[in-house]
Amino acid sequence: MRQIRRATLLFVVALVAWGAIFGSLVRPMAIRLGATAPQVTWGPAIMFFATAVFVGALAWHTWQSLHKKHERMTSDHGMKMLALSRASLIVGGLFAGAYGGYALSFARDRDTPLGSDRFWHSGFAAVAALLLLAAALLLERACRIPGGDDEEPEADGAAASAA
């Protein structure tokens, strides 16, 4: 069975960067197609925030049960938690970048009513998606089994010689 690797910083930065590139291109593409830029409501920010709270609560519960109470977790449950954390990480990273890029495209137009709404609504959605990304990273960290095989090897190789 293949081990699941933890998300690297490069992976997270690449997700946010791809999202930011896409988000910053929405406004120019809408103008080029003769349409108006989409209006962002409070819905995405509320949804990302609620999902971040849910994933964060799962991370807290998982951390408490595995690392503080030293309870066991079935492999099926652990895989579901890891899948949820990876999916939340990808969604949070891409949408944080996309909404952040979209908000930045309206940064100079904050003095107009629609520009201000698009800037603030997109900005809050980006922050809420970043909270989801952080909660996903915490859940991934909480799923590490204490003393398991996924520990980082020591630099001098002492852990490999002990096995």
CA 13/CA 55 separation, integer angstroms: 20
Residue 155 — φ and ψ, nearest 5°?
A: -65, -35
102 is in which domain, residue-wise?
10-145
Does residue 48 form part of some domain?
yes
Does residue 154 form part of some domain?
no
Does residue 41 form part of some domain?
yes
Report the 10 Å Cβ neighbour count for 112: 12
Q: Are 123 and 103 in contact (CB under 8 A)?
A: yes
Report the 10 Å Cβ neighbour count for 74: 8
Does residue 152 form part of some domain?
no
Q: Which pLDDT score is estimated for 66?
A: 82
CA 88/CA 135 separation, integer angstroms: 8
- Nearest CA among 97, 119, 99 for reference residue 108: 119
Does residue 163 form part of some domain?
no
Q: Which pLDDT score is estimated for 78?
A: 84
CA 94/CA 153 separation, integer angstroms: 31
Does residue 86 form part of some domain?
yes
Alpha helix (H) residue ranges in the chain: 9-32, 43-63, 75-105, 113-142, 158-162
Collect the ranges in the chain with pLDDT lower than 50.
151, 154-163
For residue 91, what are the CA distances in angstroms to 5, 31, 139, 140, 159?
Answer: 18, 26, 14, 14, 36
> What total number of domains does the chain contain?
1
Which tens digit of pLDDT belongs to each residue from 126-163? 999 999 999 999 999 998 876 655 545 544 444 443 43
Q: Are 45 and 125 in contact (CB under 8 A)?
A: yes
Does residue 155 form part of some domain?
no
Q: Which pLDDT score is estimated for 158?
A: 43
pTM for the full model?
Answer: 0.82
User: Which tokens belong to 121?
Assistant: 């609504």
Burial tier of 120 (Cβ tally within 10 Å: 0-12, 13-18, 19+) = middle
Q: Which pLDDT score is estimated for 133?
A: 97
